[in-house]
């Protein structure tokens, strides 16, 4: 049921497409900062209210090879596939993550309300 792609099945187009969404990029940032978490935890840090909406995004991130998703008890733990992504595309994840931070610095300069959510998760 998990449908994780093999490491060699991961494609850059799918990864970029998955991370091209503000919601999913935010998810990745949360996972990078906070490590393995359950769906509700990540959901709480975003502006999405419906769980079914996020189930869709987990799916996109999972099937593109960006995240692991493995059940633990009644929870479904999410984590970054760092090892695989770094192996296939060295530096990509860090560059994108750093880019998101850089973007935020410019966005806050213009005045953005949603920018604070991720900034607070790093402290």
Partner DNA sequence: CGAACTGTACGCAATACTTCGAACATTCGT
Partner DNA sequence: ACGAATGTTCGAAGTATTGCGTACAGTTCG
List the single partner that 117 binds among a second copy, DNA, none, CB under 5 to 8 Å by kind: none
Q: At closest approach, how far in Å is the CB of 80 from DNA? A: 16
Question: Which residue's CB is nearer to a second copy, number 71 or number 90?
Answer: 90
Query: What is the contact surface with DNA in residues (CB under 7 A)?
Result: 1, 17, 21, 23, 38-41, 43, 48-60, 69, 73-77
Report the 10 Å Cβ neighbour count for 63.
Answer: 18
Query: CB–CB of 23/48 below 8 Å?
Result: yes
Report the 10 Å Cβ neighbour count for 48.
Answer: 17
What is the side-by-side order of every strand in the sheet holding 67-72?
A: 37-38, 75-80, 67-72
Q: At closest approach, how far in Å is the CB of 77 from a second copy? A: 25
Question: Which residue's CB is nearer to DNA, number 8 or number 75?
Answer: 75
């Amino acid at each position: 049921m998990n449908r994780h792609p093999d490491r060699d099945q991961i494609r850059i187009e799918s990864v970029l497409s998955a991370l091209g969404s503000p919601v999913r990029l935010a998810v990745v940032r949360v996972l990078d900062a906070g490590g393995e978490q359950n769906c509700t935890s990540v959901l709480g840090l975003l502006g999405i209210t419906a769980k079914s909406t996020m189930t869709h995004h987990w799916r996109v991130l999972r099937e593109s090879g960006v995240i692991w998703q493995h059940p633990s008890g009644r929870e479904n733990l999410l984590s970054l596939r760092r090892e695989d992504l770094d192996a296939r595309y060295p530096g990509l994840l860090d560059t994108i993550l750093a880019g998101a931070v850089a973007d935020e610095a410019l966005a806050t300069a213009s005045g953005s309300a949603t920018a604070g959510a991720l900034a607070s998760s790093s402290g």
